[in-house]
Amino acid sequence: MTTALFLLFVVMFVVLAFEYINGFHDTANAIATVVSTKVLTPRQALLLASITNLIGAFFGQAVAKTIHSGIVDDKVVAVTTLTIFCAMMGGIIWNLLTWWFGMPSSSTHALVGGLIGASLGASNGNWDVLIWSREKIDKVSGKVSMEGIYHKVVIPMISSPLLGLTVGFVVMGLLFLLIRNWRPHTVNKTFGHLQIVSAGYMGFGHGMADAQKTMGVIMLTLFGATAAGELDGLPSWLSFLKVPDKSASIPLWIILTCALTMAAGTYAGGWRIIKTLGHKMVKMKPVHGFAAETTAATILAVTGAMGMPVSTTHTITTSIMGVGAAKRWNAIQWSLVERIVWAWVMTIPATALLGWLIYKVCGLFGA
């Protein structure tokens, strides 16, 4: 086995480790509310989230294409396996750090930040390596759309939390009007059943949104290795690793691998973050959990179809905040929210710095 091929397998392992960590890091986003309202036990909720994550991963490829084609311009600098390794390590370190402190930070933005930092390190600080904003013309329909970090990352990063907050508030307000004359027992029983559906919907949205991001990274890795000639001379049984055109559909083996890895990570659970989202931020009953999960899952499904790598964490957290605000403004623990927001703000800069530093450290050792 050549050194380049060995490094490729190491990077693939690291990427899948990120996917696994993403699974247990973001599990709380899908099941925190259904656990906190006691509709399902933690183990039942984990099983539901694992299955729906797995199913969601098979729907759509728009987000994956954004990750492997819409963030870094490989015409400025080649995206090598080393670049991807450093990007993933930056994201993994940040995810584990925030998980340890129970902070629901964004795995999506950790991935994007790590990729930005490692690419800047590889290009010696050439900011042209980043695709900020550009037009994209569909070869079949001729339709013009905008892609790049500004349109696919920055705008959704701001708009999706605002949508979560606003739509969660409105949905909860409408539900209050609907159930205002219901008996409390009837409300809890009805929405206890409905929340199982909404939790499954949330798991589906999470799988659709987050598994695609890692698929995109694997495609970017294999395309870079193919273009650099690192996969020349592969034995025939490994020929499936070559990706001559990164705009092609994503192979089934990549989809299946990412889906199963995320599902396994999801089943491992993320109890620290579940406690933060489900218990500390706002006290919830099944009707509140249903409203928050339905709001967040719908936003994830819509933005996923548009190719926007939206943060599952941002979306569900602000949906919970909106639902809590509709309940009563002081129902939300605003001091905790402030800590969470700081974690959001710091994620891309922190992971970009980590990705850049790891790349430079690897350079010192001749990597």
Domain that holds residue 166: 3-135+159-364
Q: Is residue 43 part of a domain?
A: yes
Count of beta carbons in the 10 Å neighbourhood of residue 42: 14
pLDDT, residue 224, reads 79
DSSP state of 123: T
Q: Is residue 260 part of a domain?
A: yes
Please name the residue that has the structure tokens 């990352």. Answer: 153
pLDDT band, residue 354 (cuts 50/70/90)? very high
| Among 326, 332, 330, CA closest to 174 | 326
Q: Is residue 168 part of a domain?
A: yes
Q: Say whether pLDDT at 322 is over 60.
A: yes
pLDDT, residue 324, reads 84
Residues 16 and 254 sit within 8 Å (Cβ to Cβ): no
pLDDT, residue 26, reads 66
pLDDT, residue 350, reads 94
| Among 278, 304, 281, 314, CA closest to 199 | 278
pLDDT band, residue 208 (cuts 50/70/90)? confident
Give the global pTM: 0.82
Q: What is the pLDDT of residues 235-274, one digit of tens each?
A: 788 788 887 776 668 888 888 898 888 888 877 765 555 5
Q: Which two tokens stand for residue 220?
A: 């970017």
Alpha carbon distances (Å) from 149 to 7, 132, 154, 172: 28, 5, 6, 33
Residues 156 and 313 sit within 8 Å (Cβ to Cβ): no
pLDDT, residue 146, reads 80
d(CA 157, CA 299): 12
| Among 70, 216, 74, CA closest to 148 | 70
Q: Which helix (H) or strand (E) holds 90?
A: helix 81-100
pLDDT, residue 54, reads 85
Domain count, the chain: 1
pLDDT, residue 263, reads 82
Average pLDDT on 183-209 reads: 88
pLDDT band, residue 120 (cuts 50/70/90)? very high
pLDDT band, residue 331 (cuts 50/70/90)? low
Q: Is residue 151 part of a domain?
A: no
Q: Which two tokens stand for residue 359?
A: 């790349």
| Among 160, 107, 169, CA closest to 303 | 160
pLDDT, residue 213, reads 83
Q: Is residue 147 part of a domain?
A: no
Q: What is the pLDDT of residues 57-78, one digit of tens each?
A: 888 778 888 887 788 887 887 7
- In single-letter form, the type of residue at position 70 comes to G
Q: What share of the chain is helix, strand, coil (3-state, %, to 5)?
A: 75, 5, 25
More confident residue, 341 or 154: 154
Start-end of H helices in 228-251: none
d(CA 111, CA 25): 13
d(CA 184, CA 162): 30
pLDDT, residue 113, reads 94
Q: Say whether pLDDT at 25 is over 70.
A: no
Count of beta carbons in the 10 Å neighbourhood of residue 237: 7
Q: Is residue 152 part of a domain?
A: no
Average pLDDT on 290-315 reads: 87
* pLDDT above 90 coverage of the chain, percent: 17
d(CA 264, CA 337): 29
Q: Which helix (H) or strand (E) holds 136?
A: strand 134-137
| Among 90, 126, 130, 128, CA closest to 111 | 90
Q: Say whether pLDDT at 364 is over 60.
A: yes
Q: Say whether pLDDT at 357 is over 90.
A: yes
Q: Say whether pLDDT at 366 is over 90.
A: no
d(CA 87, CA 358): 8
pLDDT mean across residues, the chain: 82
Q: Say whether pLDDT at 114 is over 90.
A: yes
pLDDT, residue 87, reads 92
Q: Which two tokens stand for residue 197?
A: 């559906």
Average pLDDT on 17-31 reads: 73
DSSP per residue, 317-366: HHHHHHHHHHH-GGGS-HHHHHHHHHHHHHHHHHHHHHHHHHHHHHHHTT
Q: Say whether pLDDT at 95 is over 90.
A: no
Count of beta carbons in the 10 Å neighbourhood of residue 70: 22
pLDDT, residue 104, reads 65
Q: Which two tokens stand for residue 213?
A: 């991001």
More confident residue, 99 or 55: 55
Q: Say whether pLDDT at 90 is over 80.
A: yes
pLDDT, residue 277, reads 52
